[in-house]
Amino acid sequence: PLVLGIESSCDETGVGIVRGTTLLTNTVSSSMDEHVRFGGVIPEIASRAHLDAFVPTLRQALADADVSLDDVDALAVTSGPGLAGALMVGVCAAKALAVATGKPLYAINHLVAHVGVGLLDGNPDGGAAAGRGAGRPASLAAGLGHGSRLPENLGALLVSGGHTEILKINSITSDVQLLGSTIDDAAGEAYDKVARILGLGYPGGPAIDRLARTGNAKAIRFPRGLSQPKYMGTAEEPGKHRYDWSFSGLKTAVARCVEQFEARGEDVPVADIAAAFQEAVVDVITSKAVLACREHGIKDVLLGGGVAANSRLRELTGQRCASAGIKLHVPPLDLCTDNGAMVAALGAQLVMAGIGPSGIRFAPDSSMPVTAVSLPA
């Protein structure tokens, strides 16, 4: 089926079009530039930016894919989780399109869509049409799309500005299990807050990633949240937070560390702090994710979310998965960050599984649970 997906949960306005598991286009407009001077995404600005960007992004996507709205078999839209006002814009636009064209509309979970993108198969032409340059390797979308079937025992590690979660995907269309998640800040949020403390600007992830390469990660040891025995328990008797993360204590530890250097009148070793902070984040994310996978018989893991851009996270996840006999799949970066193609990809899976559309009476849900793949009519 030809499916058009719409994404507006945060600061990216995305329209993606797929045919089954083939990516035709992934068109994204971001309002990130407008948030830089505030040091974070301002919901009201993001919502207005979606309003401005939606129609041009839709037109561009249809042109890139060389299809018309008439050709489309189904529409899909992110209905949550995300910023309420931002979600509202995409959902209203999608409903309007559904009413105007009479096409079925699927209300889709953003987090599950981050995983569903892994089902897209290699299509260098589609990549070129979407302006990413020709010659994308055949393993385009993480190499999961073998005949549009996900591997059994698939896990997903989602690490972004809003989420840090380890999932077990029993069925991408109907059965997603949350194994663990952050109990406070998301990993990307921690990067952004620590970058602010270190005076590195926003978004903080890329800046810390770059600076960390010049620092000594062993110069300081920052805490690995929720790693004490009382939280971990044992495999037989798991603690309450065995697979969960916490990053707010780490952020406070970085702030205290900077204060101590300043109080002593010493130069703050910013690169060492960045490297040590990054090591703490990546160490605890990868150790807990791999533990959860081992204890749940997971043999394939998909890495997703904007923090998947992080060089150290990719490296250490790769190493630890390999040691544990787990195969790691990392989609190309423009499919890891928020986009419409992932929404279309999951929408196509729902159509192909014979699951019914959502109608047009649903409301966006800013805290939609990851266990809800799509909304029933």
- Does 226 bind Mg ion (CB under 5 A)? Our answer is no
Task: Identify whether the C-beta of residue 92 lies closer than 8 Å to the C-beta of residue 8.
Answer: no
Order across the sheet with 74-80: list the strands: 22-30, 12-19, 2-7, 74-80, 105-109
Selected binder of ligand ATP within 54, 191, 245, 247 (CB under 6 A): 191
Selected binder of ligand ATP within 3, 4, 10, 89 (CB under 6 A): 10
- Type of residue numbered 124: P
Tokens of 342: 């992932």
Q: Which long-range contacts (CB under 8 A, 24 or more apart) does 50-54 make?
A: 50/8, 50/13, 50/86, 50/89, 50/90, 51/89, 53/13, 53/29, 54/6, 54/8, 54/13, 54/15, 54/89, 54/90, 54/93
Selected binder of Mg ion within 10, 142, 232, 375 (CB under 5 A): 10
Residue 209 known to bind ligand: yes
Cα(75)–Cα(105) distance, integer angstroms:
5
Tokens of 41: 């995404």
Per-residue binding string, Fe ion, 311-340, x by CB under 5 A, is ---------------------------x--
Q: Which helix (H) or strand (E) holds 286?
A: helix 270-295
- Does 203 bind ligand ATP (CB under 6 A)? Our answer is yes
Closer residue to Fe ion in complex, CB, 338/365: 338
- CB of 304: closest distance to ligand ATP in angstroms? 8
304 binds, among ligand ATP, Fe ion, Mg ion, none (CB under 5 to 8 A by kind): none
- Does 245 bind ligand ATP (CB under 6 A)? Our answer is no
Beta pairing partners, 300: 154, 327
Selected binder of ligand ATP within 14, 82, 104, 340 (CB under 6 A): 82
> For Mg ion, which residue has the nearest CB?
10
Selected binder of ligand ATP within 25, 31, 79, 337 (CB under 6 A): 337
- CB of 250: closest distance to ligand ATP in angstroms? 14
Closer residue to ligand ATP in complex, CB, 25/339: 339
Selected binder of ligand ATP within 50, 103, 136, 163 (CB under 6 A): 163
- CB of 110: closest distance to ligand ATP in angstroms? 6
Nearest to 246 by CA among 219, 259, 228: 228
Q: Is 80 helix (H, G, I), strand (E, B) or coil?
A: strand
Give the chain's length.
377
Selected binder of ligand ATP within 109, 310, 317, 358 (CB under 6 A): 310
Closer residue to Fe ion in complex, CB, 145/306: 306
Q: For residue 9, report the phi and psi dihedrals to the nearest 5 degrees.
A: -75, -20
Residue 310 known to bind ligand: yes
Per-residue binding string, Fe ion, 121-160, x by CB under 5 A, is ---------------------------------------x
Task: Identify whether the C-beta of residue 216 lies closer than 8 Å to the C-beta of residue 151.
Answer: no
Tokens of 50: 């979606």
Residue 114 known to bind ligand: yes
- Type of residue numbered 137: P
Cα(91)–Cα(193) distance, integer angstroms:
30
For residue 229, give Cα distances in angstroms to 98, 235, 240: 52, 12, 11
- CB of 339: closest distance to Fe ion in angstroms? 9
Residue 162 known to bind ligand: yes
Contact residues toward Fe ion (CB under 5 A) are 160, 338
Question: Which residues are part of a known binding site for Fe cation?
Answer: 110, 114, 338
Contact residues toward Mg ion (CB under 5 A) are 10-11, 338
Contact residues toward ligand ATP (CB under 6 A) are 9-10, 82, 160-163, 188, 191-192, 203-206, 209, 305-307, 309-310, 337-338
Question: Which residues are part of a known binding site for substrate?
Answer: 158-162, 192, 205, 209, 310
